[in-house]
């Protein structure tokens, strides 16, 4: 989920009001997808997304991806366009999950599975599969990043998996496992974003 800067006043939000996200590259390059401008939705900006997928370029093709707080699906749909083998979205908000399903159909994306669920509860389950690329971009200031990182360490990651984390800049106390190596890190406005690589402990 990503926080929107253009939220309607509380109590006046309309599930029919939409914005859009744009796919930057790949087979759906330039395609715009409708999104619900609901509370807590903050799509990753094109500038940040372009940087992130430049980082991921050597890894994304034929990868199994997990978008833990899918929101508008900006990261997951970009991964799909760029050749990911399978993408799983987790999204708590019922209307946002319905919009993800709608956009999946628009893209004829049979390799996308959408789970309308609490990400922390979902990750607390026994993993049914492991992932090569994981996106962690939760609502800001909810203290969700550390909990998600801890749960992913429970056999959700393939060896050499890449983990992308986007969070508020003031969150400078993030703790990750010792076998997560920091590959890239940047700041854009009030957003800090990082790419880690997981290595199986020896």
Q: What is the pLDDT of residues 152-199, one digit of tens each?
A: 999 999 999 999 999 988 877 788 999 999 999 999 888 899 999 999
Average pLDDT for residues 115-131, to the nearest whole number? Answer: 96
* CATH for the stretch 18-198: 3.40.50.150
Domain definitions of the chain by residue range: 18-198
Angstrom distance (rounded) from CA 189 to CA 16:
30
Give the position of tokens 């707080």. 69
Residue 77 pLDDT grade (very low, low, confident, very high; cuts 50, 70, 90): very high
Average pLDDT along the chain: 88
What is the model's pLDDT at position 11? 37
pLDDT at 68 over 70: yes
The candidate with the shortest Cα–Cα distance to 67, out of 50, 90, 84, is 90
With H, G, I as helix, E, B as strand and everything else as coil, classify residue 150: helix
pLDDT of residue 2: 47
pLDDT at 13: 41
pLDDT tens, position by position, 4-16: 333 333 333 445 5
Both structure tokens of 118: 């609490």
pTM of the model: 0.88
The model's pLDDT over 17-40, given as tens digits with 9 standing for 90+, comes to 478 999 999 999 999 999 987 666
Q: With pLDDT > 90 as the criterion, what percentage of the chain qualifies?
A: 74
**C-alpha distance across the termini of the chain, in Å:** 34
| pLDDT (tens digit per residue) in 85-115 | 999 999 999 999 999 999 999 999 999 999 9
Residue 197 CA: distances (Å) to CA of 149, 150, 162:
12, 15, 5
């Amino acid at each position: 989920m990503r926080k929107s800067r253009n939220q309607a006043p509380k109590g006046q939000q309309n599930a029919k009001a939409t914005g859009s996200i744009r796919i930057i590259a790949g087979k759906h390059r330039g395609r715009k997808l409708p999104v619900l401008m609901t509370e807590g939705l903050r799509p990753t900006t094109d500038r940040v997304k372009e940087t992130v997928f430049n980082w991921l370029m050597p890894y994304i093709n034929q990868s199994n991806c997990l978008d833990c707080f899918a929101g508008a699906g900006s990261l997951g749909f970009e991964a799909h366009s760029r050749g990911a083998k399978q993408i799983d979205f987790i999204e708590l908000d019922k209307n946002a999950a319905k919009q993800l399903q709608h956009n999946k159909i628009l893209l004829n994306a049979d390799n996308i599975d959408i789970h309308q669920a609490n990400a922390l509860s979902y990750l607390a389950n026994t993993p049914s599969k492991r992932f090569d690329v994981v996106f962690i971009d939760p609502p800001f200031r909810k203290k969700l990043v550390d909990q998600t990182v801890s749960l992913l360490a429970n056999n959700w990651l393939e060896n050499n998996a890449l983990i992308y984390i986007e969070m508020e800049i003031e969150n400078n106390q993030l703790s990750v496992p010792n076998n997560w190596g920091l590959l890239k890190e940047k700041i854009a406005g009030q957003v800090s974003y990082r790419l880690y690589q997981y290595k199986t402990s020896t």
